[in-house]
Structures are given as C-alpha cells and as structure tokens.
C-alpha cells in the first residue's frame, strides 16, 4: 500500500539456500527440466521443521536482481539468492 | 461515478470495486455513527443464475482516522465465505427463500467482522448470514423480511452486509459524452437540445457493508464530543479492498487461489476524487496508495482539469473561472484536509495538515431534522462535505464547487460565475433510490423479475 512502506518480509541468507530449494518447489516447478549444475543441492536438501506445508508461489520480479519472493499463506518471504534465481531462470528457459 | 468503475484496473474486478462511502451521525441516535461502504457496481437485478455477491478472496475494510495523521487508527474488517448447499443444481435457489437460513437458498454467503485498533485485532462476530439477492416474487417473496433478518446486533453495534439499491445518482451517459450536462445542452460547445438529466444508476443495485457503532468507539479520546470546535470531534473515513499479492488459476480445481500479503486494490473516501480529479494514468496508483500519502496527488486537486474544461466546453458561461489561476485552496480544504475553523461560521471538520482524501465527519454536529441534499453549501452542516448522507447530492455539490462556487470561502476577491450556483447534471430526486430513515439506510434492492431495462423502479 503506497510508498514509502514497510514490507513484512523475511530475509533468508545463502546459508539456508538448500532448504529454500525444497520450500520453493524449484525442482518440481521445472518439471522434466534438469537443474544442472545445482541439481545436486536439491537432491541433498532436507525439509526443516519450519518448511512450508502448503503450496508456494515464487515470483522473480526482476530477472537481474537475484531476489525471489515466495508467497505463502498471507505472507511474502523475500529471498536474496542469485544462484537460486539463476537456476530458476535457467529452468524457466527450458534449457 | 462516484467511484463506479473509476480506474482501469479495478474496472475489471467488480467485487473489489468500491463505489461509495457514507458516514453520518445516525438520524435518530445522535450518539451513534453509521458507516457504509458500497461495492460491486452497476448490478442489473436480473443478472442470474450467478447473481452478485461479495468476494470470498477480498478483504473489505472501513477505516477511521481520528488522530490527525491520515492513518487508520481504527478499522473494521469484513471477510466473506460462500457455501454451496446442493452441488447438483444450477439454480441459485430451489424454492422460495422465506428466511435467510432457508435451505432452498443454494448459495448462502456469510461473513466475519473484526475490529482493529492500534494493530490489535478483535473478532466481533463470525458466520453472520447475508441476505440473498432480490431474485423476484417467486424466489424472494418477502424481501423486506429477509433484509430485516440480515441486520445483526453486535452489542451496541449493528451490522449489515448485502444487496441494496444504489442511492447514488448521476447522468453518466451525458457526463462522459464530452462533459455534457443535459439541462445546459444548448450552451455546450457541441450543442444539443436541452433536457432533464437521466440517472444512469437508476434501477441498479450494489452490495453494501454497513456498520453502526457508538461515536465513543471511534473518537480519539473515546468520548462523545460536545463541542463541534474540538479537534477530537472530527473523524476521517474511507474504505479499502485488498487482494492477496498472488493469484493463480489452479487447473486441478478450476478455481483461483490466492497467496501472499494483502495489497490494496481499491479505496474510496470522498466521491468523485479518483473518478474525476485523478488522471487516467495515475488512477491505479491512487487506488493502491494510502490516504496519508495523498500529497503526491494534491496537484490534481489544486489545479483540477475539469475546472479548465468547463469554460472550454461551455463558452462564455464561466468567464471568471477561466481567469482564475490560483491553486484551488477551497477544494484542497474540502477534500484533502477538512475545513478549518473560521471559514464557515460555527463549523469545522479539519483533521490537520496531512493531505489525505477521507470523508471527514464532525460527529458533534447533530443530524438535521429536515436535511438539505445540497449539504453544507446550502447551510445544512450535517451534510456533505461534513460526512456524507445517503441522499446528499454529491454530484451537484462537487460540480458547483469545481465550477468556483466555493472559492470565496478562501478567496473573497473571487466572484463566482452565475452558472456556478446553477450547474447540475439534472438527475431528479424522484428517479433516485432514496435512502430510508432506518439502518442500513439504503433502500431495498430492485428485484430481478421486476426488471424492465430502463424503467425498473428501485424497489
């Protein structure tokens, strides 16, 4: 609502990136598209106790930014992770 | 208009489209205030089988600012959910609906009411039934009874959410045909024969959310003000509709799903502000902006495009207005800050210097026994722009204000053109769905069966 505004965001560091790969459903979203070379991370990922228990919508507003927004329930989780974003962009490109 | 389909984005989203806000001291209860927000514009009453309803995926709110900061100090939130009782029929109802819990009504809608103060939420009620729409004499044979059953008491408060007749009146067909005002057709740049105005909203319904609460519940100090000159006597009121940030079509369920935080997609305070004053390219942003940031839109109020167009569209009719080059401090006061003390004798509804579009109501001013639909400009301080009553003729009031009638309030050197006190869209009171004197104050909605395009009566 309007500017300036304070978003209710949760920033997630790269250290939890592996968990996010699972939470964001990045591997599933790509369908049959292989997520090389980062696919190994997805294969190793383990869901934490705080992982999402419902469907999640991921939104990359600016493909140059390295920021991804995850919509869940009535929350928006903003993640800064250029590698994750790059892999999703690659998957979205179908290559 | 007043805010029916007023911006490009919201015109595609009727269930979230706010059309009018009313705020007034309850006529027979001067210690209570009634707040009404209308949504879902221009409903043709016979629009079945999927008749109009509130959006289950929309957060509707009525906000009150009472601290002079243009922010919501108190909000009432309304959330709806719809049930399908019999999934095997295409019918809205499978027999006459004799009461609002009648199992013959196949698609009942319910709602919750939550009060938010200082960020703390308190649910006041849930699973309150709405009335059905007015289908016709076979389906909803006693609509007045259904309507009465849908007025719910929550302690001292009353609440209603459901279909009503739209009390707003305006000649959309003429106004948006190059600023035409039918009674002044002969004076228009492209002249036509003079005629009465036609109320384009006549026979259409809306969905209303109405709540009546003790005045003490909405003032900054929790008291019933006794003096109209007190700052604590003034509240600002507006409505918003919010949708969750993400909306995705689920191909498995064939329904939309929403995720993420709530984002404001519609708002409404004073009538006609976004409709007439805000340029088309900024209307969607305006709908997404909180009132306290309205400073960015103030230039459209201070130099309204319509005030420039009137002398062009009606040559030689508004010569004084055409020459007036100053900022419109009168409109800024009426719409953005409230009118300070000393401008209109004995009256003020000033909320401080924060420019914000809100309906400002001085709750210490008692209801008028015989209201004048032209409100404050006609000497009736209980009417618009001191709040807004259901029958206030806001189109005429704002047309005359924009035409220069209110400039002398702040600039006594200006002499309004003679036409400024006569200009009107010409819609007649007898063709409008007049309000009632009983909560929720808007009249019963027109019925589907009774609808004859162009000739349907309001009830």
Handedness of CA B277, B331, A5, B55 (dihedral sign): negative
Chain B positions in Cβ-Cβ contact with residue A1 (cut-off 8 Å): 240, 263-264, 288-290
**DSSP three-state, residue B288:** helix
Spatial separation of the C-alpha atoms in residues B134 and B433, rounded to whole Å: 15
Local confidence band at B385 (pLDDT 50, 70, 90 cut-offs)? very high
pLDDT confidence of residue A7? 42
Give A25-41 pLDDT, tens digit per residue.
433 333 333 444 444 45
Backbone angles phi, psi at B130, to 5 degrees: -80, 165
Closest-CA distance, A74 to chain B, in angstroms, reads 4
Report CA B386 to chain centroid distance, whole Å: 14
**In this prediction, what percent of chain B has a pLDDT beyond 70?**
98
- Region A75-85: what's the mean pLDDT? 96
In which region does residue B119 sit, left (phi positive, over 0), alpha (psi from -120 to 50) or beta (all else)? left
Strand partners, A83: none
pLDDT: is B375 or A44 the higher one? B375
Do residues A78 and A67 touch, judged by C-beta distance below 8 A?
A: yes
Residue B336 predicted with pLDDT over 60: yes
- Asked if B259 and B246 count as a contact pair (C-beta separation under 8 A), the reply is yes
Around Cβ B34, how many Cβ atoms within 10 Å?
Answer: 22
Q: What local confidence, expressed as pLDDT, does residue B200 receive?
A: 87
Instruction: Please name which of B211, B163, B206, B261 lies closest in space to residue B64, comparing C-alpha atoms.
Output: B211
- Which is more confidently placed, B1 or B287? B287
Q: Once rounded to an integer, what is the mean pLDDT over residues A47-72?
A: 95
- DSSP secondary structure string for all residues of B98-109: -STT-TTBSS-E
**Which spans in B150-273 are helix H?**
172-175
**pLDDT tens for residues B259-303?**
999 999 999 999 999 999 999 999 999 999 999 999 999 999 999
Closest CA–CA distance from residue B262 to any residue of chain A (Å): 7
pLDDT tens-digit map of B20-78: 999 999 999 999 999 999 999 999 999 999 999 999 999 999 999 999 999 999 999 99
Q: Distance from A73 to chain B by nearest Cα, in Å?
A: 5
Mutate to test the interface with A, among B259, B284, B289 (most CBs of A within 10 A): B259
Distance of CA B292 to the CA centre of its chain: 19
Give the residue from chain A lying closest to B288, CA to CA.
Answer: A1
pLDDT exceeds cutoff 70 at A16: no
pLDDT at A94: 80
Query: Minimal CA–CA distance to A26: which of A41, A10, A48, A11?
Result: A41
Partner residue facing B263 (CB), from A1, A3, A59: A1
Check whether B1 has a pLDDT greater than 90.
no
Are the C-beta atoms of residues A14 and A81 closer than 8 Å to each other?
yes
How many Å lie between the alpha carbon of A52 and the closest alpha carbon of chain B? Answer: 13
pLDDT, position B203: 86
Task: Tell me if ipTM is over 0.85.
Answer: no
Which of B244, B246, B290 is opposite residue A1, by nearest beta carbon? B290
Distance CA B110, CA B221 (A): 33
- Cα dihedral B448, B454, B457, B458, rounded to 10, equals 70
- To which residue do tokens 């304070």 refer? A6
Q: What is the mean pLDDT of residues B127-144?
A: 98
Smallest CA-to-CA distance from A3 within B282, B289, B71 is with: B289
Please tell me the predicted confidence (pLDDT) of residue B3.
Answer: 83
Chain A positions in Cβ-Cβ contact with residue B290 (cut-off 8 Å): 1-2
Residue B244 touches chain A, beta carbons under 8 Å: yes
3-class SS at A45?
coil
Test the B interface: residue of A29, A61, A71 with most B CBs within 10 Å: A71
User: What is the spatial distance between Cα B228 and Cα B288, in angstroms, rounded to a whole number?
Assistant: 33
CB-based contact A71:B246 (threshold 8 Å): yes
pLDDT digits (tens, 9 = 90+) for A82-91: 999 999 999 9
Confidence band, pLDDT 50/70/90 cuts, at residue B430: low
The single-letter DSSP state of residue B399 is H
The DSSP-derived string for B295-350 is: GGGHHHHHS-HHHHHHHHHSTTT-HHHHH--S--HHHHIIIII-PPTTTBTTB---
Give the closest residue to B134 by CA, choosing from B125, B147, B123. B147
pLDDT in tens, B269-278: 999 999 999 9
Alpha-carbon gap: A2 to the closest alpha carbon of chain B (Å): 4
Q: Does B289 touch chain A (CB under 8 A)?
A: yes
d(CA B221, CA B219) in angstroms, rounded, equals 6
For residue B273, give the DSSP letter.
I
Chain B hits for A78, Cβ within 8 Å: none
SS3 B421: helix
Q: Which of B260, B291, B295 has the most A C-beta neighbours within 10 Å, making it the best mutation to test the interface with A?
A: B260
Q: Which residues of B touch A24 (CB under 8 A)?
A: none
Task: Decide if pLDDT at A9 tops 60.
Answer: no
Distance CA B260, CA B248 (A): 11
Q: Are strands B120-129 and B18-25 parallel, antiparallel or unpaired?
A: unpaired
Chain A residues lying within 8 Å of B245, measured CB to CB: 71, 76
- Copy the structure tokens of residue B145: 């009874």
Q: What is the mean pLDDT of chain B?
A: 95
Q: Backbone dihedral region of A5: left (phi > 0), alpha (psi from -120 to 50 degrees) or beta?
A: beta
- Close Cβ partners of A27 (under 8 Å, ≥ 6 residues apart): A21, A35, A39, A42
Q: Which of residues 5-44 of A touch B (CB under 8 A)?
A: 7-8
CA dihedral B93, B94, B97, B103 (to 10 degrees): -100
- The angle subtended at Cα B329 by Cα B327 and Cα B335, nearest 5°, is 120
Q: How confident is the model at residue A11 (pLDDT cuts 50, 70, 90)?
A: very low
C-beta atoms of A3 and B289 within 8 A: yes
Contact B346, B364 (CB under 8 A): no
At residue B451 the predicted structure's pLDDT band, cuts being 50, 70 and 90, is confident
Q: pTM (2 decimals)? A: 0.91
Would you state the pLDDT for residue A43?
A: 63
Tokens of B334: 């009426």
């Amino acid at each position: 609502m309007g500017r300036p505004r304070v978003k209710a965001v949760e920033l997630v560091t790269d250290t939890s990136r592996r968990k996010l790969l699972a939470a964001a459903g990045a591997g599933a979203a790509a369908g049959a598209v292989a997520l090389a070379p980062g696919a190994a991370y997805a294969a190793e990922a383990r869901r934490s106790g705080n992982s999402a228990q419902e469907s999640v919508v991921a939104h990359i507003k600016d493909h140059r930014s390295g920021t991804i927004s995850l919509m869940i329930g009535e929350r928006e989780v903003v993640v800064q992770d250029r590698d994750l974003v790059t892999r999703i962009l690659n998957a979205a490109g179908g290559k | 208009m007043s805010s029916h389909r007023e911006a490009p984005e919201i015109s595609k989203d009727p269930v979230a489209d706010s059309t009018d806000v009313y705020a007034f001291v309850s006529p027979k209860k001067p210690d209570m205030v009634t707040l009404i927000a209308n949504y879902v514009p221009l409903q043709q009453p016979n629009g079945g089988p999927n008749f109009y309803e509130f959006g289950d995926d929309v957060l509707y709110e009525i906000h009150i600012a009472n601290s002079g900061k243009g922010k919501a100090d108190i909000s009432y939130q309304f959330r709806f959910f719809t049930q399908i009782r019999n999934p095997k029929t295409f019918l809205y109802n499978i027999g006459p609906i004799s009461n609002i819990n009648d199992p013959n009504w196949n698609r009942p809608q319910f709602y919750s009411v939550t009060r938010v103060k200082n960020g703390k939420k308190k649910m006041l009620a849930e699973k309150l039934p709405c009335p059905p729409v007015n289908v016709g004499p076979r389906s909803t044979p006693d609509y007045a009874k259904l309507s009465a059953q849908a007025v719910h008491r929550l302690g001292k408060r009353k609440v209603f959410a459901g279909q009503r007749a739209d009390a707003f009146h305006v000649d959309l067909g003429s106004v948006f045909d190059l600023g035409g005002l039918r009674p002044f057709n002969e004076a228009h740049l492209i002249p036509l024969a003079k005629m009465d105005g036609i109320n384009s909203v006549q026979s259409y319904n809306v969905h209303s959310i109405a709540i009546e609460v003790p005045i003490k519940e909405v003032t900054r100090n929790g008291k019933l003000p006794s003096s109209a000159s007190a700052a604590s006597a003034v509240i600002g009121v507006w409505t918003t509709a919010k949708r969750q940030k993400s909306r995705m079509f689920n191909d498995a369920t064939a329904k939309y799903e929403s995720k993420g935080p709530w984002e404001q997609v519609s708002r409404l305070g004073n009538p006609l502000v976004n409709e007439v004053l805000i340029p088309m390219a900024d209307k969607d942003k305006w709908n997404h902006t909180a009132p306290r940031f309205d400073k960015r839109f103030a230039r459209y109020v201070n130099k309204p495009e319509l005030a420039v167009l009137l002398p062009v569209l009606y040559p030689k009719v508004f010569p004084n207005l055409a020459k007036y080059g100053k900022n419109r401090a009168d409109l800024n006061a009426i719409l953005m800050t409230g009118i300070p003390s000393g401008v209109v004798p004995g009256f003020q509804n000033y909320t401080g210097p924060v420019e914000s579009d809100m309906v400002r109501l001085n709750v210490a001013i008692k209801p008028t026994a015989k209201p004048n639909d032209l409100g404050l400009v006609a000497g009736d301080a209980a009417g618009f722009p001191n709040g807004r009553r259901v029958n206030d003729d806001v189109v005429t009031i704002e047309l005359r204000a924009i035409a220069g009638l209110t400039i002398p309030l702040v600039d006594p050197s200006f002499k309004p053109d003679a036409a400024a006190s006569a200009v009107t869209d010409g819609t007649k009171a007898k063709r409008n769905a007049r309000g009632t004197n009983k909560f929720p104050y808007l009249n019963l909605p027109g019925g589907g069966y009774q609808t004859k395009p162009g000739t349907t009566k309001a009830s």
